[in-house]
């Protein structure tokens, strides 16, 4: 649990972060979005004290984050940045071992952890461990960057536009990997991005920042339905709203009784995928099947259209 | 394959140099045409080998001291706490470079007497600038993502310096040391004017007795040393840069 209490950061006269308060629940993904210069990165960097606040406090699991030296705090909090920031003169294995080495873990424990993480990120430990970062592709470097951030098993992982430098295909894969890893470790993730698509895909809760203040802090559905200000509405993109609403819900929720012909769609797919499949195949309805292959009913164009409409 | 020929040439130059220093008499026929009749063709007022070694020792000691001071200063002024010393440090090392070594020798002799000491002082002052400027560049142009990551992983200031910043700046710092060493190798010859044991003795002896062979011997030995040391440093820098992923 991260409790941010009226935190402010001023550079001279301008407040980059202006009296922000928010509580981040454990084991969730919170995405902070905003335009450039909105203070989102500064807010995140105050959690691990890469930036010292001008006033206000941040409690991590009830303890003030200024109760221990900054470098010790940062060893307990994972940190992944855009462009990965891997140390070029160290091998992949040494990079991942950075924090455990600083913490003085035993060699065998470090080696086991490096191996575990590389396997988890689908990199063969024997092949990739001894390589240098410049010998990897962009997507691989990014995965090693996240693996390094997770090496000391932190409860909290801070990510500053971690996927910004990746091409769209690799980015989608990296996002899905992150969701899987969050499930695996139960890490509390705070992620900063300016990509709304990414925010809606990953977030349990989204915080929208503008000019140093939090404009809205809510679950994605809530934000779509009730944008707090025009700024939030613009950021979401008015034209995208119905599709974003559908992309949050699963097909299972939209299933109705009845039969339909043709290729079925899995109940766990998003309603947006279902709409896309209906439109592309030119049909009115699709059968829905569960994980075991059993028919659960059908999903119809009309039903989805109702769900995509602004809730009353 | 492309590097084979230059490396063979370097090896040959090294072997010839060693042969000449150990057995200069072997080369007498080659040098004989350069001198008037009855004049000695090979330096005969001392051992060329021991002069060369003491020449190298002088350069080594001066460069080592210059490296420690210049890199130390560069580290200081690239920390937040020492940033305000940057203009002062720059002026100091620039003054060291501006004073001609001959003038430094002349000024140092009354203070410390004849011998190695004035030469060491002159070489030390003259060698500071290239090392300082390169160390400054190396330490202040590290990619921001990497220094940021070093802080973000919880390294202390000392750990960041020793584990990340210095290793990554090392190739650039070495380039500065390389320049400094080569300048010092040449400049050390004038140390002989104040009785330092360097290869300058051979050149000066040749100038005094109008012996072209002496001048050539002293000059060539210094030149070959400079080229070989320069190339060795360059090769070392290449290896380190490749390891640091800068190429």
What pLDDT, in 10s, does the model give residues A118-161?
Answer: 999 999 999 999 999 989 998 899 999 999 999 999 999 999 99
Q: Are the beta carbons of A132 and B145 separated by less than 8 Å? A: no
- Report which of residues B227 and A201 the model is more confident about: B227
pLDDT surpassing 70 at residue B1: no
pLDDT of residue A312: 62
Across the interface, whether the CB atoms of B154 and A71 are under 8 A apart is answered yes
**Per-residue confidence at B247, pLDDT binned at 50, 70, 90?**
very low
Closest chain A residue to the Cα of B170, Cα to Cα: A89
B146 and A CB contact within 8 Å: yes
Question: How close does chain B come to A183, measured CA to CA in Å?
Answer: 23
Cβ separation of B153 and A48 shorter than 8 Å? no
| CA gap B231, B227 in Å, rounded | 6
- Residues in A closer than 8 angstroms to B165, CB to CB, are none
Which of A29-43, A90-104, A271-285 comes out lowest in average pLDDT?
A271-285
- What DSSP letter does each residue of A180-200 carry, written as one string? HHHHHH--EEEEEES-HHHHH
What's the sign of the alpha-carbon dihedral B113, B117, B123, B126? Answer: negative
Indicate which of A44, A70, A71, A97 best probes the interface with B, i.e. most B CBs within 10 Å of its own CB. Answer: A71
Which is more confidently placed, B247 or A252?
A252
**Would residue A136 be called left, alpha or beta, if left means φ above 0 and alpha means ψ between -120 and 50 degrees?**
beta
SS3 A4: strand
Q: What is the 3-state secondary structure (H, E, C) of A265-276?
A: EECCCEHHHHHH
CA B25 to chain centre: 29
Lowest average pLDDT, out of A248-252, A304-308, B207-211, goes to A248-252
ipTM of the complex: 0.80
Which pTM value belongs to this model? Answer: 0.82
B155 lies within 8 A of chain A by CB: yes
For each of the domains in chain A, give its residue range(s) and CATH number, in order of start.
Answer: 2-238 (3.40.50.300), 243-308 (3.10.580.10)
Nearest alpha-carbon partner for A179 in A224, A148, A146 = A146
Q: Which CATH architecture has domain B45-244?
A: Orthogonal Bundle (1.10)
On the question of pLDDT at B246 being above 70, the answer is no
Portion of chain B with pLDDT greater than 70, in percent: 98
Helix (H, G, I), strand (E, B) or coil at A45: helix
Q: In this predicted structure, which of B74-83, B96-105, B210-219, B231-240 has the lowest mean pLDDT?
A: B96-105
B243 touches chain A (CB under 8 A): yes
**B150 in contact with chain A, both atoms CB, cutoff 8 A:** yes
Q: Which residue of B has its CA nearest to A103?
A: B154
First-to-last CA distance in chain B?
20
Residues of A in contact with B80 (CB under 8 A): none
Contacts of B63 (CB under 8 A, 6+ apart): B123, B127, B177, B180, B181, B184
Per-residue pLDDT tens over the stretch A160-207 = 998 888 888 888 888 888 998 998 999 999 999 988 888 988 999 999
Residue with tokens 């972060």: A17
**Res. A299: pLDDT tops 80:** yes
What average pLDDT does the segment A210-239 reach? Answer: 88
Which residue on chain B is closest to A154 by alpha carbon? B153
What tokens were used for A109?
A: 């424990």
Q: What is the dihedral of CA A257, A259, A260, A262, to 10 degrees?
A: 120
Residues B153, A88: C-beta atoms closer than 8 Å: no
What's the gap in Å between the CA of B147 and the closest CA on chain A?
A: 8
A→B contacts (Cβ < 8 Å), by residue, are: 48, 50, 71-76, 79, 81-89, 98-99, 102, 132-134, 145, 148
The pLDDT assigned to B210 comes to: 87
Neighbours of B239 (CB within 10 A): 11
Closest residue to B154, CB basis, from A74, A82, A85: A74
Residue of A128, A121, A124, A96 lying closest to A111 (CA atoms): A96
Question: A66-72 long-range contacts, Cβ below 8 Å, gap at least 24?
Answer: A71/B154, A71/B155, A71/B156, A72/B154
- A270-284, B81-95, B147-161 — which one is most confidently predicted on average? B147-161
Q: Which residues of B touch A99 (CB under 8 A)?
A: 153-154
Asked whether the beta carbons of B122 and B191 are under 8 A apart, the reply is yes
Percentage, residues of chain A above pLDDT 70: 99
Given a contact cutoff of 8 angstroms between Cβ atoms, the answer to whether A198 and A175 are in contact is: yes
Residue A300 has φ and ψ, to the nearest 5°, of: -115, 155
Q: Which of B146, B155, B245 sits opposite A85 (nearest CB)?
A: B146
The yes-or-no verdict on residue B185 having pLDDT over 60 is yes
Containing H/E element for A299?
strand A295-300
Measured CA distances, A288 to A265, A282, A291, A295, A301 (Å): 5, 17, 10, 6, 13
Q: Could you identify the residue written with the tokens 């499930």?
A: A183
């Amino acid at each position: 649990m991260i409790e941010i209490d009226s935190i402010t950061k001023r550079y001279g006269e301008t407040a980059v972060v202006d009296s922000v308060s928010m509580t981040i629940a454990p084991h969730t993904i919170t995405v902070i979005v905003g335009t450039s210069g909105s203070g989102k990165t500064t807010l995140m960097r105050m959690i691990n004290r890469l930036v010292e606040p001008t006033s206000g406090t941040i409690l991590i699991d009830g303890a003030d984050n200024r109760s221990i030296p900054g470098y010790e705090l940062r060893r307990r909090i994972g940190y992944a940045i855009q462009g990965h920031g891997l140390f070029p003169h160290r091998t992949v294995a040494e990079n991942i071992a950075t924090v455990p080495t600083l913490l003085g873990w035993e060699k065998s424990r470090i080696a086991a952890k490096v191996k575990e993480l590389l396997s988890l990120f689908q990199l063969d430990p024997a092949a990739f461990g001894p390589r240098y970062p410049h010998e990897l592709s962009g997507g691989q470097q990014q995965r090693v960057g996240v693996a390094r951030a997770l090496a000391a098993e932190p409860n909290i992982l801070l990510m500053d536009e971690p996927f910004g430098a990746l091409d769209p295909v690799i980015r989608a894969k990296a996002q899905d990997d992150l969701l899987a890893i969050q499930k695996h470790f139960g890490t509390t993730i705070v992620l900063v991005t300016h990509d709304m698509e990414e925010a809606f895909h990953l977030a349990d809760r989204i915080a929208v920042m503008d000019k140093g203040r939090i404009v809205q802090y809510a679950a994605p559905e809530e934000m779509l339905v009730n944008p707090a200000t025009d700024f939030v509405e613009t950021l979401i993109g008015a034209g995208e709203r119905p599709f974003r609403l559908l992309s949050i819900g699963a097909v299972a929720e939209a299933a109705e009784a009845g039969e339909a012909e043709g290729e079925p769609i899995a109940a766990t797919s998003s309603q947006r995928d279902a709409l896309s499949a209906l439109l592309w195949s030119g049909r009115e309805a699709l059968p829905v099947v569960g994980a075991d292959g059993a028919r659960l009913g059908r999903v119809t164009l009309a039903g989805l259209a109702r769900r995509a409409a602004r809730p009353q | 394959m492309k590097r084979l020929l230059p490396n063979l040439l370097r090896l040959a130059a090294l072997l010839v140099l060693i042969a000449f220093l150990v057995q200069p008499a072997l080369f007498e026929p080659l040098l004989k045409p350069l001198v008037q009749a009855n004049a000695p063709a090979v330096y005969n007022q001392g051992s060329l080998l021991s002069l060369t070694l003491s020449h190298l020792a002088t350069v080594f000691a001066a460069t080592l001291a210059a490296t420690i001071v210049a890199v130390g200063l560069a580290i200081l002024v690239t920390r937040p706490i020492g940033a305000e010393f940057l203009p002062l440090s720059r002026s100091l090392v620039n003054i060291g470079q501006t004073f001609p070594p001959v003038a430094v020798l002349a000024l140092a002799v009354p203070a410390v007497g004849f011998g190695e000491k004035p030469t060491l002082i002159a070489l030390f002052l003259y060698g500071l600038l290239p090392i300082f400027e390169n160390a400054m560049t190396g330490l202040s142009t590290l990619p921001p993502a990497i220094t940021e990551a070093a802080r973000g992983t919880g390294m202390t200031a000392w750990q960041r310096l020793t584990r990340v910043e210095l290793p990554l700046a090392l190739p650039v710092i070495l380039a500065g040391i390389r320049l400094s060493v080569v300048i010092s190798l040449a400049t050390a010859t004038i140390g002989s004017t104040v009785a330092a044991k360097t290869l300058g003795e051979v050149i000066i002896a040749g100038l005094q007795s109008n012996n072209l062979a002496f001048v050539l011997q002293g000059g060539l030995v210094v030149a070959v040393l400079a080229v070989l040391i320069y190339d060795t440093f360059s090769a070392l820098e290449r290896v380190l840069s490749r390891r640091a992923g800068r190429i």
